[in-house]
Structure 1
């Protein structure tokens, strides 16, 4: 079975020839590959001003990250237990509130550790990768301290 024809207004009928140096061509190929696009589609999007999303995959095998991932799993389990407690009509006590606040504070502290290790990809300004404990940009763990 043949592929259906495109509508006339969607057909690309105007070829444009470009010449690139080896360096330029290799760079374009690399960028197109990073965006998971064919070279022609990548160049077309660049020329027409459409957004090209390049996905980066960061792989790290650090013991600290493995430890943090395990801690996040434990926190998730604890949150599920708390939700189950309250959803089944559990009593809201002052002690429970303090434990929840402490847990939230611990989560923020762990978040700061992750950001420090990762170099804070969501930096406040270009070139600024510093993360200060207590920055309101990422939340403040002291807010939840009792």
Structure 2
């Protein structure tokens, strides 16, 4: 099946020729790539002062982080079991209260471990330029 045609007013009929040095071209090309846009679309948005959002994906493949994620999963499973127990009419006991408090304490410990691993990173994964 063929791609639907754009409406006439959405078609780009006019061209503007622009000469750039190698350095200027590289800068524009990299910014378009960072914004995940074709070069022409990036240049069009820049010329028309439209907002451009560059998205960066941050990938951390740390064994410590994988271990913490697994621990979060186990704690979540424990909390689900506790909730299921109470929702099915389970008796509130000191043992259950201790299990809940232990899980909450471990979650806070893990939070601080993650923050320590992250170091001073406080940035946003999206950069906006106008």
Q: Which runs of 5+ in 1 are unaligned?
A: 124-146
The answer to which structure has the higher strand fraction is 2
Q: Distance in 2 between matches of 1:55 and 1:12?
A: 29
Corresponding residue number in structure 2 for 1:82: 82
Q: Which runs of 5+ in 2 are unaligned?
A: 124-130
Matched, 1:58 2:48: no
Contact 1:35 1:54 in 2 (8 A): yes
Per-residue deviation, residues 72-103 of structure 1 (Å, max 9, x unmatched): 22112212212222232223345433432332
Larger radius of gyration: 2
Q: Distance in 1 between matches of 2:99 and 2:63?
A: 28
Q: Distance in 1 between matches of 2:14 and 2:31?
A: 24
Contact 1:34 1:55 in 2 (8 A): yes
- Structure 1's 78 and 14: CA in aligned 2 closer, same or farther, altered over 3 A? same
Corresponding residue number in structure 1 for 2:114: 114
Mapping for residues 4-83 of structure 1, pairs under 5 Å: 4-47=4-47, 48-60=49-61, 62-83=62-83
Report how many residues are paired: 122
Larger RCO, structures 1/2 (Cα 8 Å, 6+ apart): 2
Q: CA RMSD in A?
A: 2.7
Contact 2:35 2:52 in 1 (8 A): no
Q: TM-score, normalised by structure 2?
A: 0.70
Structure 1 residue 70: Cα displacement: 1.9
Q: TM-score, normalised by structure 1?
A: 0.64
- Tell me, what secondary structure is at the counterpart of 1:52? strand
